[in-house]
Structure 1
């Protein structure tokens, strides 16, 4: 399978990208190189190789989930730069 400049133009349109002709040619070449590499990987004999979902044998590297008393509102807001009643007050982000 190979990618044409027409394919790249279509993908660019879907992604709302604009490429110059030179960029489109370069992108076509790069995508074809990637597909060629994937084809090479498909040729590798993986018979008898166990699939893995991690590269190490550690089972759980997270700390134990221990129940504890939550902070009170006052404790949580103690260092807040600004607050309104029992809530953190932050600058408006969305218009």
Structure 2
């Protein structure tokens, strides 16, 4: 685990402020959800992504499928967009 050299105090309501540099680096915006995990004596924060959300379109549908050993979830539209982009990239690489 890497320290970023920032220390924050917990206020009377249990809140902490996440540094803007960290939010920018992790693409965390206002109103984004953060998921909490505990690993022994550590608290791990992660930008929350609902299970089954399409990596390309952000859609959650019953038709979404997992690929790459469950590492990538795509909706039918997301799969089509990705396929077209890959075809284009392969075509350009051949040229």
TM bracket, shorter-chain basis? under 0.3
Larger Rg: 1
Tell me: higher relative CO, structure 1 or 2? Use CA pairs within 8 A at least 6 residues apart: 1
Q: Which has the higher strand share?
A: 2
Q: Structure 1 length normalisation: TM-score? A: 0.25
Q: Which has the higher helix share?
A: 1
